[in-house]
Structure 1
Amino acid sequence: MKIAINTRWLLKNRLEGIGWFTHSLVKRMVESHPEVEFHLIFDRKPDASYKYGPNVVMHTVRPAARHPYLWSLWNHYRVPAKLRRIKPDVYFSPDGMGVKNWKGKQLLAVHDLNFEHHPEWIPRKVGEWYQKHMVQYGRAADRIVCVSRETLEDVSRTWGISTSIMDVVYNAPQSNFEPLIGANIELPISGKYFLCVGSINPRKNLALAVRAFSKYRLQGGDAELVLVGNHMHIDSELERVLEESPYRNKVHFVGRKHGSELNAIMSNAIALLFPSLFEGFGIPIVEAMAAGTPVICSNVSCMPEIAGDAALLLSPFDADAWTDGMNQMENQSERQTWIEKGIERAKFFNWDSSAKKLWENIVKTAGNA
């Protein structure tokens, strides 16, 4: 079998969500199937570390596709031309962007339909492009995998696609997270803290976290609040709430963290606060659980599915409930209960089983004549 894969998100030292998804799954498939020829298609010169085995052929297809106009050029003309030369049995696209002007089999991964339901949370031109093209890719695909059952059902409802050609391939922690508590660990602050992890944008609902934190401090709480993540889009509500909070100097933005550094920051937090309004999966939930950190997360979107009974699930619109949850997590016996539940729940999500599930869908796609 010959498989072509869109690997434009594999950027050295710059892996984000889809990049980690691609890396974690493709590496395992390459190593598990030495009899298969894998053609990895990049939009810039790839780093040699992404040649996962001797059965990998790396291709660079220009231009670097980082703008809606260039997405169209890359997916509708440049990549199809490359595929006509490679002649793969299946083309797999981990970012949900299929190709046009090519008649072969396509398997797409869809992470969420945020752009369909809340286009106001992303730049206008990006949202318009996604709304026009992503549904076309989805309806033309031979099969689709989604990172949660909630996303799968959303794709079926919103795009009118049968669930019979869809499957769930879960995300997992970006690395081997584990409890890391003790000496020789560099932390963002010296005292106690609650933690938020994720890109800074309106979807993450960090304004609610700050409101709940301010009430927690007003009631006598002495922990601080650490926010991990890059600023993606302007969050005017968060800016307003911070400006009004008398405890804004107790809120610390520390930028993007990953790997063992993020593991340590998570492990030493009182709890992860994850008040997001919409997610396709919510990777920080399972990373915190694996790191031995209690989780308080929203009770909407896919989050109840991912967290199961191992997190305190609260309305993302009720700041008082989140304040109560923060106080609850300062009770050590209560906290230990959530830690134990979380560690057990995190074991359910692992890249080995997800890679096997993805491979099953590649085989089904190839055989779907």
Structure 2
Amino acid sequence: MVIAINTKTLLPGKLEGYGYYIDEIFSRIAKNHPEHQFYFFFDRPFDEKFIYATNIHPVVIKPQARFPIAWRVWYNWMLPIYLKRIKADVFVSPDGFCSLNTSVPQCLVVHDLAFLHYPHFISKAHLRYYQKNTKRFLDKAKIVVTVSDYSKQDIQQQFGLSSNKLHIVGNAANAMFQAVSDEVSEKVKLKYTSGAEFFLYTGSIHPRKNLINLLKAFSLFKKRLRSNMKLVVAGRMAWKTEEFTKLLSTFKFRNDVVLTGYLERNELALLTASAYAMVYPSFFEGFAVPPLEALQCGVPAIVSNTSAMPEVGGDAYLYINPQSPEDIAEKMMLMYKDEALRSRLIANGKERVKLYNWNEAAEKMWQCIQLAATTE
């Protein structure tokens, strides 16, 4: 079988959500199925580290597709040419977009419908593209994959998709995320916070992640407890960051907030394992991997009580109302003061992460690919 995969988000030095998902799942699938040929479709020069096996063939398709006009050209004009050229049996697209102009069966991954629930958090051009095309993509695909039961139900409710067509292939924590020794932890803290304990947020910086309310909550925490606790924000500036940047420039506790920028996964794992707790106040997530990575490191997580996050975390997260800086601050103070609670969450987290496994996810995805290739 010839399997083409949209790997545009495998970007060295910029690997994030979709990219991690592709990296974990399709590296395993290609290695586990050497009898099949895999074509990785990039839209720019690629890094050889993403060519995981000899049965993977990288192809660069122009133009670079990062905006709606280029998306239309890449998916609907250029992609069908290359799918025909390689005689693809199936095309897998993990970023929610597929081609409307090919007869090749497609397996589409839609992580969430954030654009429907929080449309003001993305640009108008991107929003129009999603609004116009998402249903068309869902109808065109032979099989649709999503990452949680929450997202599955959301897609069904919003677009009436059949359960037979819609499958769940969830995320998991990367193996690099493990507990570290006190010695390693102290070195990490010296590097980032001059030795102080810290709350950690990891992920890109944009409005849906709710970092404005996190800053407000951290201010309340500092005023009430007067501790030397720091807040570390590990991630790149994405879009619509003006309000965050402006607030931070006048923030009373600016010297207690550390922005690391984008970190490679090995460094991010060390930072996560050295945190006192993760705070993940996102308004909306189809899954939310960073808090699960914290649990795998033996670090408790304070997480929003919305969308798929309670489904993923169960009894292992301390939940917050993301709309309320006061509630976020109260839960940060509770985590800081109640060692019994913190220990219980860490213990629950060790059990919770066992439910999520990349090897199982890769096998489920493989079954979906086969279904897409054979469904009439």
User: Do they fold alike, i.e. is TM over 0.5?
Assistant: yes
- Shift, 1:54, TM fit: 2.3
Identify the match of residue 186 of structure 1 among 171, 185, 188: 188
Aligned residue in 2 for 1:68? 68
Contact kept in structure 2, 1:77 and 1:100, CA below 8 Å: no
Aligned residue in 1 for 2:47? 47
Please give the alpha-carbon distance, in whole angstroms, between the structure 1 residues aligned to 2:74 and 2:281: 36
Aligned-pair identity in percent equals 35
Contact kept in structure 2, 1:142 and 1:165, CA below 8 Å: yes
1:180/1:260 CA distance change after superposition, 3 Å = farther
- Shift, 1:239, TM fit: 4.7
Deviates more, 1:225-234 or 1:295-304: 225-234
Contact kept in structure 2, 1:228 and 1:257, CA below 8 Å: yes
Alignment of 1:1-369 (within 5 A): 1-184=1-184, 185-187=187-189, 188-189=192-193, 190-222=195-227, 223-235=229-241, 237-239=243-245, 241-242=247-248, 245-330=251-336, 331-369=338-376
Please give the alpha-carbon distance, in whole angstroms, between the structure 1 residues aligned to 2:294 and 2:53: 32
Please give the alpha-carbon distance, in whole angstroms, between the structure 2 residues aligned to 1:337 and 1:343: 10
1:110/1:170 CA distance change after superposition, 3 Å = same
- Shift, 1:25, TM fit: 0.9
Deviates more, 1:137-146 or 1:118-127: 118-127
Query: Match of 2:130, SS?
Result: helix
- Shift, 1:62, TM fit: 1.5
- Shift, 1:251, TM fit: 1.8
Query: Match of 1:186, SS?
Result: helix
Query: Match of 1:163, SS?
Result: coil
One-letter code aligned to 2:355: F
Segments of 5+ residues of structure 1 without an aligned counterpart are none
Please give the alpha-carbon distance, in whole angstroms, between the structure 2 residues aligned to 1:186 and 1:314: 28
Please give the alpha-carbon distance, in whole angstroms, between the structure 1 residues aligned to 2:255 and 2:58: 48
Please give the alpha-carbon distance, in whole angstroms, between the structure 2 residues aligned to 1:9 and 1:91: 16
Deviates more, 1:247-256 or 1:103-112: 247-256
Q: Deviations over 1:287-341 (max 9, x none)?
A: 1111111111111111101111100112112322222211221232321111111
Contact kept in structure 2, 1:170 and 1:354, CA below 8 Å: yes
- Shift, 1:244, TM fit: 6.1
One-letter code aligned to 1:66: R
How many residues are aligned here?
Answer: 369
1:350/1:176 CA distance change after superposition, 3 Å = farther
One-letter code aligned to 2:316: A
Q: TM-score scaled by structure 2?
A: 0.93
1:263/1:46 CA distance change after superposition, 3 Å = closer
Please give the alpha-carbon distance, in whole angstroms, between the structure 1 residues aligned to 2:226 and 2:139: 51
Query: Match of 1:219, SS?
Result: helix
Segments of 5+ residues of structure 2 without an aligned counterpart are none
Please give the alpha-carbon distance, in whole angstroms, between the structure 2 residues aligned to 1:264 and 1:51: 26
Please give the alpha-carbon distance, in whole angstroms, between the structure 2 residues aligned to 1:42 and 1:237: 33
Q: TM-score scaled by structure 1?
A: 0.95
Query: Match of 1:345, SS?
Result: helix
1:12/1:251 CA distance change after superposition, 3 Å = closer
1:227/1:50 CA distance change after superposition, 3 Å = closer
1:140/1:320 CA distance change after superposition, 3 Å = same
- Shift, 1:249, TM fit: 2.5
CA RMSD, 1 decimal: 1.8
Contact kept in structure 2, 1:180 and 1:263, CA below 8 Å: no
Please give the alpha-carbon distance, in whole angstroms, between the structure 2 residues aligned to 1:221 and 1:283: 31
Deviates more, 1:198-207 or 1:176-185: 176-185
Please give the alpha-carbon distance, in whole angstroms, between the structure 2 residues aligned to 1:119 and 1:321: 25
Query: Match of 1:138, SS?
Result: helix
